[in-house]
Structure 1
């Protein structure tokens, strides 16, 4: 009897969905090369009614007064193009009818392929409205999270642990500013294939909203980075991160080390760092073995700071070293460049020195101590040969290329923090000399990219990364509905001829 009622209920639900979907005209925008739906495509009518494709590339259109006739849609999407007509318009005229469908193909300019939105509300809104199947268990609102800034993640206890910066919610513009978090299963352990999506299981508070996992006392938000899993002497995995306390206007006034308590789903403070220390954990960590010792490498634009991969040493900033050609100078000359007898820069691991950075090297160049070409941060665009200013990066070993790969955001370009670059090197320390632009945005930021080596497929030929899509810092006041202030996932095919290995060996 129960099975009979369950079957009857499913028939009612399906019938309701079909009738509901029949009201809409379904437009799907697909990649002309892969025929996969393209998220984040704007379709705008002549009278400025704007729709944005969901993560399946679908728009559910039902506009009173515009049905049962031809409707023109302007088309635009970051990194994709559509041909102009004789009047210079990028768009297409569709015969709009309830229950009808249309497919539009756009050419991908980006080397990387946009896959889906990872966080926020309405990820598959339009797909559900037209009755299309969706991969996520929570396709429209998960953990009551509408927006998430800057992801960090790592493997811990055979699951992927995810944490973000600030997060907003439906009930108020301000939400969780003290590190929301979630877990997901690896594809090999029952999770979705990364091409389909990520089923996030948020840590929730008593209201059902993503809880604060790092509520450190003090003024302003708490942010974390340098998330790393380490084994202690008994072989037990432990999860650590660096935290910072931030007050307006984005001023860091405290930093330290926290450890994740998996029972309580929260970070516990382990140590407050000396704020004047020159070296400390930062960025997306990389584990790397040198001379038989496993280290953790840290850094923003490049991983140039190391410490032994041991929980007992991680908190001791006195043990941190940086890979540099600098050495201490005199009172009047703060830093001196170390060169060998041939005048070449001499890199060594050294303590109590600041990590190299683009800004520091620019000062050395202005002082005449260093030429631009010999600086560490002389990464150039393969196409234009012009130097790039990298804001931050994520580095991982790639078995397909047998190289270390870097996914990096550029500080300035077509938009501030809006362009993503690929580079590769023999070592995580570089040298990083040539880069190819793989993602671009028109006056929109896409920052803090995070590469996901745990999801790489086909022996590393396909790699995956995401970043934060937001108007912050871009100078653009027009926010993309549902997408703004959220994470978007990309796939990069390293067999693409535009990423041919010889291009990076010039």
Structure 2
């Protein structure tokens, strides 16, 4: 996101420290705060999620425009040290090994810090929750969005989104609200227009409860305890050519496997999801999963974490578990095939076959490896889309790093390419890192692609869950964080598939 830089020619001599510049803040509103903006040294855009920490551990985290607003009695009008840190960005160390800046906070003035980006992907900002432009508002700067959506959403987990009718339909899993952490655990949904620009912020129109318009609507009500999660969201046409929206639902008690599940259909009249098909508990793969993508061959493929299940893109087939197919390796014939009898041979199962020498390396489809080191990259979840710019299927996936020597257990994002949605996938390049933090269930929104697919956007859930990190950055935790990726970046070349 490229914020407006409200700077005029300095009226006072600029104080320069490393790459920092202090200037007067020009604003219609008087402010007692001192503003620090952290920007990408190449693009000039503000960088969200950069922490500035004082010697006595006062922590400030940049908002979506890259700003923090500081007014701290006792620390104004004197030189103050701020440690600078943030995932994917670099600041040089001083002689003692400290990484930081040393401005003199003064009310109404600003200080600019330019950081080098190590990530290939550029962080755009947080899409959900309160205070996306918290510091910008305190500094009296223009706001692309209000700092609390009328819905009152504070945190959201695991997004799905599809073009539906005249707009984009969005859904999330668990949702936190201001009055209590367990705000809505029966699926939250919203709509937006189709012509949205994520770099200007996304203004969601949430579905609210008809009886209590200040509360979110429970979009999928299932009897019994636990949360209701929807995945595999897709649309198909019925026999009359009408658009129908479907998803797989599961009722979960904590992180246990679903206690019941089935296929849900969106009821346009009731504006909620309702059970269309209740599935047998023994059904472990014959349904929509993960992120759905439709290919030109007439099938929907489901990335869970990779596209090794599919079904024909018709209403009758999607609703019929017997129509689902799995990509399976026939050891007797030494070949892959789509079939309906056996469960899929996924990435983990493929690795077992390779180690047992029951599959040749040349036959592998999911043997994804770091292009730089050759180390295997096991995926926890991924999103696969056709890309017009690369003229390839592209994958953006988060690494399952608990067993690997990764900076985070669920936070390392990788890019790979293939000529088909079901692979083979090969060399991968890391595009974003989240050390000691989680960034799971990522999704690439193809409908947001720009410049013919040259610029793409992906988002995921940013949370301290599973990370082992005891400290959550204010406002960012348990929310959706978006990145921008330019596919012309030469650093992605090692992942390019060769014809």
Tell me if both proteins adopt one fold, taking TM over 0.5 as the criterion. yes
Q: 1:360 to 1:253 in 2, by over 3 A?
A: farther
Who is 1:332 aligned against? Answer: none
How far 1:456 moved relative to its partner? Answer: 0.2
For the 8 Å contact 1:21–1:99, the answer to whether it is kept is: yes
Who is 1:221 aligned against? Answer: 227
Structure 1 runs, 4 residues or longer, greater than 6 Å off: none
Who is 1:271 aligned against? Answer: 277
Where is the helix percentage greater, Structure 1 or Structure 2? 1
How far 1:21 moved relative to its partner? Answer: 4.3
| Distance in 2 between residues matched to 1:18 and 1:421, nearest whole Å | 41
Comparing 371-380 with 446-455, greater Cα deviation is found at 371-380
For the 8 Å contact 1:150–1:165, the answer to whether it is kept is: yes
From 293, 304, 311, the counterpart of 1:286 = 293
How do residues 385-404 of structure 1 correspond to structure 2 at under 5 angstroms? 385-404=374-393
* Structure 2 residue 206 is the aligned partner of structure 1 residue 197: no
| Distance in 1 between residues matched to 2:410 and 2:235, nearest whole Å | 29
Who is 1:51 aligned against? Answer: 60
| Distance in 2 between residues matched to 1:262 and 1:102, nearest whole Å | 51
Any gaps of 5 or more consecutive residues in structure 2? Answer: 1-25
* Structure 2 residue 57 is the aligned partner of structure 1 residue 68: no
How do residues 64-463 of structure 1 correspond to structure 2 at under 5 angstroms? 64-136=73-145, 138-187=146-195, 191=196, 193-205=197-209, 206-277=212-283, 278-290=285-297, 294-326=298-330, 337-339=331-333, 345-365=334-354, 367-371=356-360, 374-412=363-401, 413-463=406-456
Q: Residue 498 of structure 1 aligns to a residue in which SS?
A: helix
From 468, 471, 496, the counterpart of 2:464 = 471
TM-score (norm 2): 0.90
Any gaps of 5 or more consecutive residues in structure 1? Answer: 1-16, 327-336, 340-344
TM-score (norm 1): 0.89
Q: Residue 282 of structure 2 aligns to a residue in which SS?
A: coil
Q: 1:240 to 1:50 in 2, by over 3 A?
A: same
How far 1:426 moved relative to its partner? Answer: 0.8
Q: 1:420 to 1:69 in 2, by over 3 A?
A: same
How far 1:219 moved relative to its partner? Answer: 2.1
How far 1:295 moved relative to its partner? Answer: 1.2
| Distance in 2 between residues matched to 1:272 and 1:372, nearest whole Å | 40
| Distance in 1 between residues matched to 2:65 and 2:346, nearest whole Å | 40
Q: Residue 51 of structure 1 aligns to a residue in which SS?
A: strand
Q: Residue 505 of structure 1 aligns to a residue in which SS?
A: coil
